[in-house]
Amino acid sequence: MTRIILALLLLLLSFLAQAQTEIAPVEAELSIGRHSGDCTGRGTCSFTIGSSSSRLGKPAMKTTAKKTTPSTFVITIPISKLSKEDELNMAGKLFSEIKTNDEIVFIQEEPLILDDQTIRSLGIDKRYTKIAPGAYPMNITKDKVEITFTLTTTE
């Protein structure tokens, strides 16, 4: 009987240790468009956790974000929250026009520096704060879009 209790206790402890290392997604706000100007064009003009990210009157959409490495996170956006303009700004064309063999990337035209609260909430290494201009992997499914950002240092 003692062996069974000890085995169950060890099993429970290993489960708890695993649960503590699992990173849960956090709620975030995202605005699609270039950071400068009027928040139009390709990229994200704002991304925050814990404070409003509305930029230049453009409403921010509710999303979730999850850290995947010390400098990488994935934003998940429900398709239902995206306008046609958002689709164009994200993929360069409407999602319905994307063909099976098309390379799908999210283009960030201008750099975006994330605020301290967003970095802390994601659990990202504080040295990495910038979404640099470039192409980022984007996965589009029937009900969501996932964009994987790898942050760089601001130096």
Per-residue model confidence (pLDDT) at position 86: 86
pLDDT at 87 over 50: yes
When comparing pLDDT for 145 and 49, which is higher?
Answer: 145
pLDDT at 53 over 60: no
Element (H, E) at 5: helix 2-21
- DSSP for 8-24? HHHHHHHHHHHHHHPPP
Query: Rounded to two decimals, what is the model's pTM?
Result: 0.76
Per-residue model confidence (pLDDT) at position 45: 73
pLDDT at 81 over 80: yes
Per-residue model confidence (pLDDT) at position 11: 60
- Give the list of residues 6+ apart from residue 151 with CB closer than 8 angstroms, or none: 71, 72, 73, 114, 124, 128, 129, 130, 131, 132
When comparing pLDDT for 119 and 32, which is higher?
Answer: 119
User: Tens of pLDDT along 96-124?
Assistant: 999 888 888 999 988 889 999 999 999 99
What are the residue boundaries of the structural domains of the chain, listed by start? 24-150
